[in-house]
Structure 1
Amino acid sequence: MSSKGRFIVVEGLEGAGKSTAVACIKAWLEQQQLQVVCTREPGGTPLAEHIRQLVKQVHEETLAPEAELLLMYAARVQLLQQVIEPALAEGKWVLADRHDLSSRAYQGGGRQLDEGLINSIRHAVLGDCRPDLTLYLDIDPALGLERAKARGELDRIELEQLAFFQRTRQAYLTIAASEPGIVVIDAAQDLSKVQQDLIQALTDFWTAQHASLA
């Protein structure tokens, strides 16, 4: 396999089980003797973590959807340049809790911002960078929010109305159906079945990577 690393992203609504999935995927990758760098968005660098706080906290002032979008991409490009690209160049595999698809779903679908605006920003700051594999954990928003509430206090985005998350989920599913490299995992299943499906998707990806180099 090429010495260049691979970029794997886990996506999903609140309560979909992304953190658990990341742990499962990391363990599997390390079993393949790979060096794995884990990141999260927004965040992943000291500066990007400050932006995360701005995005997540409830403020007296309403955060405009366009401002939220720009903050997300500011944190993303910082993470890309400081962590993701250097790790991939060193042959490490990067495993991310969220990436660009989140903005397309949350700000595009949820906030209903213009797709052309999002695409122009994507192109300007991310260039040709795309994940090699995206694993989208699909869950009914009502169930996901129940799980999120059980974890404790909700952040600014988690406090949105159910309709916001329904639009976000639909955007995820629409994009996943039209673009290669996105695997949809049913996150409402028992944890053992979710993990089984994740490992199957990783195995398929691993096999395809080896076959392309044969």
Structure 2
Amino acid sequence: MIRKSIKYIIIALINLIILSVLLWFWTDFIEITFNNWVRPIEFLKLIGITIASLIAMRISVSFFRQKEVNSIKSRLIISILITLLISSYFYIDYSLKVFQNNIQNRELRKSLAKKIEFIENGPLGTKAKNLTLEEYNEITKTNWFPKIQKESKNIIYHYSYDGFLPDYSFEVKYDILLQEKVDSTNLKYGEIRVDTIKNLKRITYNEYEY
């Protein structure tokens, strides 16, 4: 029985390996830094669809027997198509993310990675300074950090968290021109302070939970 099933197991394993490679490529430093569970969670999903594809292939084999389809080539082609159909969402999603993270936004994410530092001698977390709005927005695609207004420059953030408890502390600072209005649309859950420095407004936003 196992010998007859080995070719279907190989199909499922090859599919798992290809998707795992795609997963490895799109989960770059930025992705892992702000979502350190992304790889294990996504890999569990891949294990799930691998099991689902094996079950689907087992059902198809029973169907072939009932219809007396004896061609091994036909069985294999249909089994491959079933596996690809079940995995199609992941192929599309992962391929798109590989393109976005490693081709389209490659230089942006490399620049951002050089600016991010891990907090030392204290709680878990990261910090960065001299970020552009584009770099900061790239973080918000992966993490929950609030959006800030499009005129923002010289962005600094500091984020720390407990690791076990939901306690966290988040601060972001950025500059806008003196004549520009402060847009706090997305800064809903913390405190905002506005300071004037020459011809700039320095916005400081703090959000925390203890």
TM-score range, shorter chain: under 0.3
Per residue, is there more helix in 1 or in 2? 1
TM-score computed with the length of structure 1 as normaliser = 0.24
Report the structure number with the largest CA radius of gyration. 2
Determine which structure has the larger strand proportion and give its number.
2
The two structures have a TM-score, normalised by structure 2, of 0.25
